[in-house]
Amino acid sequence: MIDVQSIRDAARDLLAKGEVRAVIGYQRGSRGMLAEPVTITDPEQADELVWDATCFHNLALYLVEDRKALAHAQRTPNLPIAIVAKGCDARAIVVLMQEHYFKREDVYIIGVSCEGGGVLVEYKLARLLNGAQALSAVIDGAELVVTTLAGEVRLPASEVMADRCLECREPFPKEHNVVFGEDQTSRQLVAPFTALARFEALSEADRWAYWCRQFERCIRCFACRSVCPMCYCDECVVDSITFPVAPETTAEEKANRIRWIERSAVRSENITYHMTRAMHLAGRCIDCGECERVCPVNIPLRLLNNKMEREAREHFGYEPGASIGGPSLVASFRDDDPGQFIR
Amino acid sequence: MSEEEQAYEPKIVAFLCKWCSSAGSDLAGVSRIQYPANATPITVPCSGSISPLYILSAFNKGADGVLLSGCHIGDCHYIEGNYLARRKIYLIKELLEMVGVEPDRFRMSWVSAAEGAKYAQVVKDFVADLKPLGPQNKLKADRT
Ligand code: SF4
Ligand code: SF4
Ligand code: SF4
Ligand code: FES
């Protein structure tokens, strides 16, 4: 179990010695037990940092935000920014560096291992607590220690953990400057891609019926895109706003501009958005599960991204977030890539 | 084949590489090979230039089937475009199948500029496989 004090000490030290310009981490939130992202710049604030089973957020997103703000202000900082990163977050950072979004020396990674745990899912916890209000939730080995007003409750961690954590391929942040917690990469709580395999066993008609039900519901709030550290494009292809409008542009030209998909939240457009997104994340999504967690209408987005991840692994020997210097999935090939489907 | 299937003519959007399959389709024409007129050709610079969004968009705009045809492996004008296409297209094909779109609605082939007869055959086979599936409404834009 990681002592949160060690993370605070590391953050305080880095800031006090002037080695980093800020630390992105988690603080106790305003909503009960839940942690929330925070960026601190003062060593005094280090004691506000927390580390527990509610640190869901993939903080790599804030590295992207930081880069965008710097670019906008046309500033080149001379100090790196530090970030608290779980296994999945660290893989996201690796992908960003692989894509030259920033350089290795621009970030200082404070790795935290999930060891035998991961992050919890609120509804799973609520079911087991029978209405008791949780004040804090920390993973200790294979157990989740929940503090409630009535005292401490110990629950099997696997019953409250997020599916992606149960299926996690790498709960240890391999890429780091400093790391806390043990490397338990070989732990296998649930075989990877279990949920996907279950889904794929359905017939074609059932799979279609399933996705219809899902995509009829999507309201195209784009929370899934906004929360994803890999969806960093300033202009997304589905927004069709890249059309340059000049004074002489006619109404007809505007009406006939290329629109790959419509903005209306109807099934056909939603499904095209999500398939496009899955393709754009192939070899880049590191399964932090954030898109699925933030969806207000519970669309099982992990299935689509997991599908791409598993195909990449099984057929192209590719692991997203494994190497900063390696080629990307769709910008590389091997002579023996599958081609039997081509006539 | 039922009468209904006979009467239904599937619309195919065919993305053809300009260095090979596009010339192959011309050759099929000038050689007066008889083949179905269901495919609307769109010439592209290379099979590797195809974005998965072209394919999704073709379905969205009402195609019943989408064909992508490029140069044989080893013959790409840009050396590796078709290797990159093979990987990308494999992924989109898997994704289409996963959401429940019939696998026969999408097809990829290698057709050289000298293979007019092969191009005609690819289109003939595709049309025959598409007919029993009927119109494609799964990804077609719902404009109601
Ligand atoms: S997916 Fe893995 S690394 Fe990420 S929070 Fe869950 S267990 Fe930790
Ligand atoms: S999938 Fe969910 S989060 Fe994404 S746009 Fe649709 S409703 Fe919003
Ligand atoms: S697609 Fe979802 S799971 Fe994958 S990196 Fe983006 S937010 Fe995380
Ligand atoms: S030039 Fe024909 S596939 Fe690349």
CATH of the domain at B95: 3.40.50
Instruction: Give chain B's mean pLDDT.
Output: 93
CA distance A279 to B88: 8
Q: Is residue B29 part of a domain?
A: yes
CA distance A84 to A112: 7
Q: Is residue B2 part of a domain?
A: no
**Cβ distance B126 to B86 under 8 Å?**
no
Residue A253 has what pLDDT? 84
Residue A155 has what pLDDT? 94
Give mean pLDDT, residues A311-332.
94
- Between A255 and B20, residue with greater pLDDT: B20
| Nearest-CA distance B45 → chain A (Å) | 18
Give mean pLDDT, residues A125-134.
89
Share of chain B above pLDDT 70, in %: 95
Q: Is residue B35 part of a domain?
A: yes
Indicate whether this complex's ipTM tops 0.85.
yes
CB contact under 8 Å between A271 and B140, yes or no, is: no
Q: Is residue B142 part of a domain?
A: no
Q: Is residue B137 part of a domain?
A: no
Q: Does ligand 2 lie within 6 Å of residue A218's CB atom? A: yes
For residue B81, what are its two tokens? Answer: 């475009």
pLDDT above 80: residue B43: yes
**Cβ distance B72 to B112 under 8 Å?**
yes
Residue A234's pLDDT band (cuts 50, 70, 90):
confident
- Out of A207, A316, A341, the one facing B99 most closely (by C-beta) is A207
Looking at chain A, which residue has its C-alpha nearest residue B62?
Answer: A268
Q: Is residue B78 part of a domain?
A: yes
* Domains, in order of start, for chain A: 1-118+165-190 (3.40.50), 193-327 (no CATH)
Residue A241 has what pLDDT? 63
Q: Is the dihedral of CA A20, A25, A27, A29 positive or negative?
A: positive
pLDDT above 90: residue B5: no
Instruction: Give chain A's mean pLDDT.
Output: 93
- Residue that is written with structure tokens 């269901």 in the block: B38
Q: For chain B, what is the domain count? A: 1
| Nearest-CA distance A339 → chain B (Å) | 7
- Out of B57, B107, B140, the one facing A260 most closely (by C-beta) is B57
pLDDT in tens, A147-164: 998 899 999 999 999 999
Residue A242 has what pLDDT? 62
Residue A329 has what pLDDT? 95
Give mean pLDDT, residues A221-228.
96
Using a cut of 0.80, tell me whether the model's pTM lies above it. Answer: yes
Residue A249 has what pLDDT? 87
Range of the domain at B110: 11-131
| Nearest-CA distance A193 → chain B (Å) | 14
Q: Is residue B143 part of a domain?
A: no
Residue B144 has what pLDDT? 59
Residue B142 has what pLDDT? 83
Give mean pLDDT, residues A213-236.
94
Mutation probe of ligand 4 site: the residue of B25, B75, B79, B83 with most atoms within 8 A of C-beta: B75
pLDDT above 90: residue B134: yes
Q: Is residue B140 part of a domain?
A: no
